[in-house]
Copies of this chain bind each other. A is one copy, B any other.
Amino acid sequence: MLKNDAFLKACRREPTDFTPVWIMRQAGRYMKEYQAIRKRVDFLTMCKTPELAAQATLLPIDILGVDAAILFSDILIPVEAMGMEVRFTEKRGPVFSTPIRSEAQVQGLSIPGPAESEERMPFIADAIRLILQGLDHRVPLIGFSGAPFTLATYMIEGETSKNFTWIKRMMYTDPPLLHKLLDKITGAVIHYLNMQIRAGVHAVQLFDTWAGSLSPDDYQEFALPYVERVIKGIDKKNCPVILFANGVSSILEYMGNSGADVNGLDWRIDIGVARRRVGSQVALQGNLDPCVLYAGPDEIRGHVQAILHKYGTGPGHIFNLGHGILPDTPVEHAKALVDIVHEESSSKRS
């Protein structure tokens, strides 16, 4: 029995006493406690050491008072389990030594089933168990995965990309090969998320971060169907699914009909407009510009009030940033955000 289940209630569009809030990348470089861990070990080691991943996951619960924890991990973990070698560098972020460019490479990828997933990524379920202990039913735990298109982007580009030229080259010159790759990733993601659900996460978020780089037609062909298959394929009986994308404005109706319980919005859309566009079938998560946290509490309060006002009085709003918190954000401003969302949304309801 959770002491604070506002987040889960909001996912199901049930009324809550206040608007629950968490922050994408809430366990991150802007926290000195996180940096202290990272001084000792590299990023990937941190993801793969259950004690450290659990420690990072719990930081924002203790320090910020957010209403949900999210597993500390990286979206490329399941890709590594498919057989790709990934490295993290301080400057370039994740780098694949051999990006996917050929049919043979796609054929060479494996789809880890339930047993292989546990075997190749034992640290995931271990971390989840430690986190649940540490949480002691205070707030729910969110698991996550990259969505197939976004994972394919990393696998094909090989590193962070500006124009996504390699995956789009494949999309326009050899679409069957891209579909073959997306199909394999989809299988892997389903098993990966089900493993997290078996270990006890209360909700999952699918990060389709780069889906907003697609035209609406391409989104419908290369991103949406695979998201739908993931959502159908996971054991979501008691586990709401959040679908997040960056640049949702031109694909929002598709996201609303994807089967996800919650749509995560970036900051470049008015959340009131989004509410009207998707109707009441999904909850909405978002959507403050992360840069607002450079400013102090007064400015933050104004922006929180504006978003709460735009969303209106209906249930089903989870407050969040529209993208991950930036590394140079003052931690006191993140704390202020959480407090202000709780204050302002409680006063609205009383």
Contacts and interface: CB of A to CB of B under 8 A. Distances in A.
B328 A294 contact: no
Contact of A165 (B215, B268, B294, B296): B294
Interface residues of A, number: 35
Contacts of A295: 172-173
A171 interface: yes
A217 B250 contact: no
Interface string A198-237: 0000000000000011111110000000000000000000
Interface string A265-288: 001111001000000000000000
Interface in A277-324: 289-292, 294-296, 299, 306, 322
A249 interface: yes
B218 A247 contact: no
A299 B172 CA distance: 7
Contacts of A292: 172
B249 A169 contact: no
A215 B267 contact: yes
B291 A163 contact: yes
A322 to B, nearest CB: 8
Contact of A164 (B165, B217, B270, B291): B291
Contacts of A291: 163-165, 168-169, 171-172
Contacts of A322: 215
B328 A289 contact: no
Nearest to A294: B169
Nearest to A214: B268
A37 interface: no
B168 A215 contact: no
Nearest to A288: B215
Interface in A150-171: 163-165, 168-169, 171
A340 interface: no
A206 to B, nearest CB: 20
Nearest to A302: B172
B250 A289 contact: no
A326 interface: yes
Contacts of A163: 290-291, 326
Given A168-B291, A168-B294, A299 B268 contact: no
Contact of A306 (B165, B173, B217): B217
18 contacts: A163-B290, A163-B291, A163-B326, A165-B291, A165-B328, A168-B294, A169-B294, A173-B296, A214-B268, A215-B267, A215-B269, A215-B270, A216-B268, A216-B273, A217-B270, A217-B306, A250-B268, A250-B273
Given A163-B326, A215-B270, A250-B270, 16 more contacts: A169-B294, A172-B294, A172-B299, A173-B295, A173-B296, A173-B299, A215-B267, A215-B268, A215-B289, A216-B270, A217-B270, A217-B306, A247-B247, A247-B268, A249-B250, A250-B268
